[in-house]
């Protein structure tokens, strides 16, 4: 492999492997990371250590005069002085200079050549290198030779902690982003997903400046590739599962942009949740976890290296990373036409939202800004009912601008291109969690199929009296009795009380965004 230098970043005298082949990264991982292993399907098994998920409270954005008026400061974007960023950057490079071998992954974010950026990742764990080789768009040999200066550089020194006595640090973990330098520094966490979402956060800043909507969504195209749809949803709502559809082409499972030319995937790979994964329920994802893929924080048996996806003793956030082309029906290049359908997925553990509703443009903007789902109650003492979660634009932790900017872009594009918007509840029916049961996946797939086919355009609807939604009452291969949620509850008074409670949560949450939207959008929400 030709010599490669990172001296311009203050990294000198190291063995640097630039864009090494997956097979070489396997060798490096087995040699240098004691817990690494190879699964019986050929995937690299790796462990992120103490942090098995993102650390959103440790995400910081440099406060700079050029961008500070554009940033949505607060609970999502904590301000960081540029001087502290430079301290952390030097701490990261000093640590990287102590490593025997470094890995440099050069790739692209964005499949549309007009809008893609060049991303460089500098790290010291083979697992991180293979992960980002999967998640970025991989350059050809010719592109790599002519790569030039990257637009964004990630310094991953996650194995070394932040100094808690440095101004602005609240823990040993920090994930710092400079929008002006377009650099990212990671200290105190080896969770690989921080790199992926760091790139997405930067794209969430750069793309809206160009009038392009960046979206936390999956996207698919029709079998002939001429029509496309996007699916929004928070973790656990089915975004990745429902985009792995053998009847359609996969554009991408998580991050996209909507430009004047259509949609394009930001990533070169997929990062799918693997908890309780089986070939029977999700064959495409299961079969993609082969040689070249990374299986993160899973449990396997020592004798046969067979992964037990039902074992959550390390974390419920077990995941698999693989190149998008590992999905047989991936659409390469990962671009599509303007979406015909925009689908919002929610997992309502209260069991009161209808499984299938059609939204007006104003309702679409309201529910996009709300970004609702509900999580099942945990083991904390006294917590006995579902917990509502509102994440603006279905991707609050990754937004840079105020949510209203993304919502306006979505509304403009929906109206301009005539997209139909749907709300699909993949959560509970017949009662909330602990009483009812989750809507069967096969029913949800039938609803999504009916959306794509166009047959629901003339389907009968009723207006939900609390949420104001146009509820579909007939859908092929779906029992009609589950489509009206109140009808599935044995205790109607309990349903009414729960629906009123959830509507109130929507209303309370939306108050912080009300000043940035039109009267029509404000009026499009529930009426508790």
Contact 180, 62 (CB under 8 A): yes
Tokens of 432: 């909330």
In this structure, is the dihedral angle defined by the CA atoms of residues 9, 15, 18 and 19, taken in order, positive or negative? negative
Catalytic residue, candidates 115, 125, 196, 319: 319
Q: What is the CA radius of gyration of the chain?
A: 23
Within 10 angstroms of residue 265's Cβ, the number of other Cβ atoms is 30
User: Strand 437-438 and strand 428-429: pairing?
Assistant: antiparallel
Is residue 52 among the annotated active site residues? no
Q: Does residue 239 have an active-site annotation?
A: yes
Query: What are the beta bridge partners of residue 62?
Result: 80
Q: How many CB atoms lie within 10 A of CB 232?
A: 25
Residue 324 in contact with residue 269, Cβ under 8 Å?
A: yes
Nearest of 16, 409, 452 to residue 223 by alpha carbon: 452
Angle between helices 361-370 and 403-417 (to 10 degrees): 150
Q: Which of 197, 256, 273, 341 is catalytic?
A: 197
Residues 6+ apart with CB under 8 A from 3: none
Which residues have a Cβ under 8 Å from the Cβ of 7 and sit 6 or more positions away?
none
> b/e for 52-84, b at 16 or more Cβ within 10 A?
bbbbeebbbbbbbeebeeebbeeebbbebeeeb
Whether residue 18 lies in the annotated active site: no
**Burial (CB count <10 Å: 0-12, 13-18, 19+), residue 427:** buried
437: cis peptide before it, omega within 30°?
A: no
- Residue 288 parent element (H or E): helix 283-288
Here the tokens at position 317 are 């956030």
Annotation marks residue 214 as catalytic: no
55 touches 43 (CB < 8 A): no
Catalytic residue among 178, 240, 357, 370: 240
H/E stretch holding 413 reads: helix 403-417
Q: Please answer whether residues 345 and 233 qualify as being in contact, where contact means their C-beta atoms are separated by less than 8 angstroms.
A: yes
220 catalytically annotated: no
* Catalytic residue from among 67, 222, 235, 500: 235
Q: Is 319 a catalytic residue?
A: yes
Active-site residue, selected from the candidate residues 128, 138, 216, 338: 216
Burial of 501 by CB count in 10 Å (0-12 exposed, 13-18 middle, 19+ buried)? middle
d(CA 193, CA 174): 14
Which of 353, 357, 345 is CA-nearest to residue 386? 353
Q: Are 116 and 109 in contact (CB under 8 A)?
A: yes
**Active-site hit among 54, 59, 120, 138:** 54
279 belongs to the catalytic site: no
From 155, 196, 269, 322, select the one nearest 204 (Cα to Cα): 196
Which entry of 190, 254, 362, 464 is annotated as an active-site residue? 254
Q: Shortest CA distance to 333 belongs to which of 421, 261, 235, 394? A: 261
> Tokens standing for 335?
């671009």
Is 417 noted as a catalytic residue in this protein? no
Alpha carbon separation from 129 to 368, 422, 488 (Å, rounded): 34, 38, 49
Q: Which of 18, 51, 138, 239 is catalytic?
A: 239
**Hey, which residues are catalytic here?**
54, 197, 216, 235, 239-240, 254, 319
């Amino acid at each position: 492999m030709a010599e490669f230098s990172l001296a311009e970043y203050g990294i000198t005298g190291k063995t640097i492997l630039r864009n090494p082949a997956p097979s070489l990264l396997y060798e490096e991982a087995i040699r240098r990371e004691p817990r690494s292993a190879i699964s019986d399907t050929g995937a690299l098994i790796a462990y992120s250590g103490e942090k098995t998920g993102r650390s959103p409270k440790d995400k910081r954005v440099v406060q700079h005069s050029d961008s500070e008026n554009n940033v949505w400061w607060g609970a999502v974007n904590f301000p960081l002085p540029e001087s502290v960023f430079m301290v952390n950057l030097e701490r990261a490079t000093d640590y990287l200079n102590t490593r025997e071998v470094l890995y440099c992954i050069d790739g692209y974010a964005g499949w549309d050549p007009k809008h893609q950026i060049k991303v460089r990742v500098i790290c010291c764990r083979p697992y991180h290198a293979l992960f980002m080789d999967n998640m970025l768009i991989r350059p050809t040999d010719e592109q790599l030779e002519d790569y030039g200066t990257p637009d964004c550089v990630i310094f991953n020194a996650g194995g070394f902690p932040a100094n808690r006595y440095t101004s602005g640090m609240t823990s040993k973990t920090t994930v710092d982003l400079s929008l002006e330098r377009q650099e990212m520094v990671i200290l105190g966490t080896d969770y690989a997903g921080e790199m992926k979402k760091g790139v997405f956060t930067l794209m969430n800043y750069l793309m809206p400046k160009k009038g392009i909507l960046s979206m936390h969504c999956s996207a698919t195209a029709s079998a002939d590739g001429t029509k496309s749809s996007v699916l929004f949803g928070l973790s656990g709502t089915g975004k990745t599962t429902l985009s792995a559809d053998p009847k359609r082409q996969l554009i991408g499972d998580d991050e996209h942009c909507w430009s004047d030319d259509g949609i394009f995937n930001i990533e070169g790979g997929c990062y799918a949740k693997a908890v309780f994964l089986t070939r029977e329920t999700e064959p495409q994802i299961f079969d993609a976890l082969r040689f070249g893929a990374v299986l993160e924080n899973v449990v396997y048996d020592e004798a046969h290296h067979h992964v037990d996806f039902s074992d959550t003793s390390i974390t419920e956030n077990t995941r698999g990373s693989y190149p998008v082309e590992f999905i047989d029906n991936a659409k390469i290049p990962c671009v599509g036409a303007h979406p015909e359908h925009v689908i919002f997925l929610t997992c309502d553990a209260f069991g009161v939202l209808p499984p299938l509703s059609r939204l007006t443009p104003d309702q679409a903007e309201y529910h996009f800004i709300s970004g609702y789902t509900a999580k099942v109650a945990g083991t904390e003492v006294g917590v006995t009912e579902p917990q509502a979660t509102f994440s603006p634009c279905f991707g609050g932790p990754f937004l840079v601008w105020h949510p209203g900017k993304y919502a306006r872009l979505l509304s403009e594009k929906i109206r301009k291109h005539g997209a139909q918007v749907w709300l699909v509840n993949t959560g509970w029916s017949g009662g909330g969690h602990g009483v009812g049961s989750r809507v069967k996946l096969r029913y949800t797939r039938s609803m999504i199929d009916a959306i794509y086919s166009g047959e629901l355009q003339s389907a009968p609807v009723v207006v939900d009296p609390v949420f104001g939604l146009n509820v579909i009452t007939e859908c092929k291969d779906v029992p009609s009795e589950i489509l009206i949620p109140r009808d599935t509850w044995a205790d109607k008074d309990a349903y009414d009380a729960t629906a009123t409670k959830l509507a109130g949560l929507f209303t309370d949450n939306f108050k912080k965004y009300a000043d940035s939207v039109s009267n029509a959008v404000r009026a499009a929400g529930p009426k508790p």
